[in-house]
Chains A and B, each alone.
Chain A
Amino acid sequence: MPGSPFPRDPFFPKIFLSHDLLPHDLLLGSSPVMPRYSLGLALVLPALTIIVLFFIVPLTASVIGAFRIGDGFGIGNFEKAFSLYTADIIFSLAVVALSTLLIGLFSIAIGGYLVLGENPRAVAILRWLYRWPLFIPFIVVGQILRTFLAKNGLMNNILVGAGILTPLQTTGLLDWRGIVIAFVWKQTPFVALLVSGAMASIDRGTIEAARNLGASRFRILWEIIVPQVRGTLSVGLILSFVTMMSVLSVPLMINAQSPTMITADIAFRINSYGDYGVANALGFISLILTSCVAWIYMRQAVKERM
């Protein structure tokens, strides 16, 4: 953050940018450059081998597989993927983008209340409660919400029992709305954890100063706190975006309609047709989508360090 009067958020660089110290140390380190360099290499080698063996190689194989048709290469798999699943690709993007937006808003709200809340008991309860979904796997979330959100499910039964709805007014939420609810419910605590950590460590003086000048709590949150934790927030949201793009269980458990998410299509291509070509092509498309988001983040991170 060039020219920013605020100290840089300490949480963010510690976790996500510590690796950028490494090359500096290795290449520009003091006198004996070579021995330190080879020592560093030796230390990195096991990790590097594992990454190459278990990540780079399968990824490359999958990307190559996306272009393989019979014995040759071509873009036939992509043509088929787009002709059958364009609606699903757009659907996945829209659902995940909407979820990311909501997760951002909710985690700012939670983090903000933890920092600015004036009722210590309410803050303590919220601090204790909000992390729970972190420990629940996606498939369990899907399973819980599948019965909770159904037309005659638990939620609607409660609403009908309380006299808020009549049985005829109920609708099931087991479609894109169910997916968004599941994603937001599961991922908000993760981002809120990062964001509230960052918020807790910013200079309280800036908050107090704004308060002295008569700013409302909402204005302090939006104009003083959020800009200072922007980096952490975007890291959290990008990691959530990538995670949600890869979830299979939730769309399978909750969304019966078409369109559905790309992950469900990938599974279907493999399980029903044994067709790895189109599945790889869909995987590649999903990879491009997530890479775009990662690229936006990288660009911003680089710009901030300049």
Chain B
Amino acid sequence: MNAIMRTSLALLLLSAPASAAELTVLTAGDQNMVDYVNDYLGPLFEKENPGNTVRVVGTGPGDAGSQKIVERFTAQSGAGSAKWDADVAVVHEKFAGPMVEKNWLLSYRGDIASGKLVTRSNADMALGTKVSGFVMPMFNSQTALAYNPALIPTPPKSYDELVAWAKKNPKQFGYNGIKGGASGVSFVMGWIYAYGDGSADKLMNGPFEEAETKKWDKAFASLKEFNKNAVLTPGNAGTLDMLSRGEIAMGPVWVDMFYSWQANGQLPPTMKLALPAPGMPGQPMHYVIPAKSPNTKLAEKFVALATSPKVQAEGIVKRFNWYPGIDAKHVQAELDKATWDKLFTSITPDALAQYGKPFPIAPYNNAILEAYERSVAN
């Protein structure tokens, strides 16, 4: 009996590889983010690192999901835990800065091969906070105006043209306000970039000055006027729903959602995208590694794989229609022409570079939202 037990114990010990670990990945965002890791990235990583497993936890869509990750980290930091219960987290841009400022994160970009493939400025500055080294962008997302070319042969090239068009075609433009998802928020931010009396650059890059927040009254008054000609839609998906049912002819949407819906047949293939001047915001989602992760080396390996050109091409661009997190030129080589063209037909790389803006830095962001609540929604 004793012998059997001892043998089996020995076997058990031998069979477990020394490096076996469970990598815990927290991700904000919709269910598709969880599916991405569960169905694609996780198995790929487990194949390359036998014996290790990946466990993914979705914390929910939108800022609320990232907020939950922040609260989890706050709790563990407050409790003084030596090892936290997460190895990798995927968070929205707005939350990366505060995490860096609180010294919760590992500076790892220099340690991984794909770190050199990122040069875009939003990987160094996240809404006014320096984050270079601490984050790797998983993807870049962009908002744009989706429109029905049957009703609108030439889409508005600027916010001015849009306002004129909406006046002539009342209730044909729809957006989801600011409480139903970020595509509406993005439209409002673009409005302030276009019509605010202050400098848009300051909103995007800081520093925060109280005086700047007083310069939007005129812009919000005109937005309130504009809203009379617009329809308010229930959520990001609500705008796409109304477009596909023909209830509106134009509205701001996330580019990746737009393409995914078209691919699923939820949106007519004829619909197109346009990015008006002076631009609309987009945002990356970032991979971060908590400094107190129990498996930092493995976590670095995971992020290195996730941001390698191959995975960025196959997973991010092809599967999800997101713009890649690392520089596009490194990804192009891994992609067939059709996929590449699809992503850049409606909005050319030049237009994207010119009119794809970041969101305002966090304090301005909040101030604009609150001013909207005060003067437009009230």
* Residues of chain A at the chain B interface (Cβ within 8 Å): 83-84, 87, 146-147, 150-153, 172, 174, 252-260, 264-265, 267-268, 270-274
5 A-B pairs within 8 Å (CB atoms) are namely: A153-B245, A256-B176, A256-B180, A256-B232, A267-B64
Q: Sorted from nearest, which 6 A-B pairs have the closest CB atoms? A: A271-B64, A258-B377, A256-B234, A256-B232, A152-B245, A151-B247
A-B contact count (CB 8 A): 66
Chain B: interface residue total (CB-CB under 8 A): 27
| Given A83-B374, A274-B67, residue A256 in contact with residue B245 (CB < 8 A) | no
On chain B, the residues within 8 Å of A153 by CB distance are 245
Across the interface, do A84 and B378 meet the contact criterion of CB distance under 8 Å?
yes
B63 at the interface (CB under 8 A from A): yes
> Contacts A270-B67, A271-B67 given: A256-B233 contact, CB under 8 Å?
yes
Measured between beta carbons, the chain A residues less than 8 angstroms from B67 are 270-271, 274
* A254 and B369 contact, CB distance less than 8 A: no
Minimal Cβ-Cβ distance residue in A for B234: A256
* A260 and B179 in contact, given A150-B241, A253-B234, A270-B67 (Cβ under 8 angstroms): yes
* Interface residues, chain B, with chain A CB atoms under 8 Å away: 62-64, 67, 70, 176-180, 232-235, 238, 241-242, 245-247, 366, 369-370, 373-374, 377-378
- Chain A residues near B374 (CB-CB < 8 A): 83-84
In the assembled complex, which residues on chain A have CB atoms less than 8 Å from the CB atom of B235? Answer: 252-253, 256
For A255, list chain B residues within 8 Å (CB).
Answer: 234
CA distance A268 to B232 in the complex (A): 17
Q: Shortest CB–CB separation between residue A123 and chain B, in angstroms?
A: 38
Assuming the A-B contacts A252-B180, A271-B64, A274-B67, are A150 and B242 also in contact, with contact meaning beta carbons closer than 8 angstroms in the complex? yes
* Main secondary structure on A side of the interface with B: helix
In the complex where A150-B241, A153-B245, A252-B180 touch, is A270 in contact with B234 (Cβ < 8 A)?
no
- Decide if A256 touches B63 in the complex (CB within 8 Å): no
Contact pick for B232, options A257, A267, A272, A274, CB 8 Å: A257
Contacts of A253 in B (CB 8 A): 234-235
Chain B: CB-nearest residue to A170: B247
Q: Which of A83, A255, A260, A274 has the most CB of B within 10 A?
A: A274
Question: What separation, in Å, do the CA atoms of A174 and B234 have in the docked complex?
Answer: 8
Which residues on A sit within 8 Å (CB–CB) of B373? 84
> Chain B contacts of A172 at CB under 8 A?
247
Of all chain B residues, which has the CB nearest A274?
B67
Nearest-CB distance from A270 to chain B (Å)? 7
Residues of B within 8 A of A258 (CB): 177, 232, 377-378
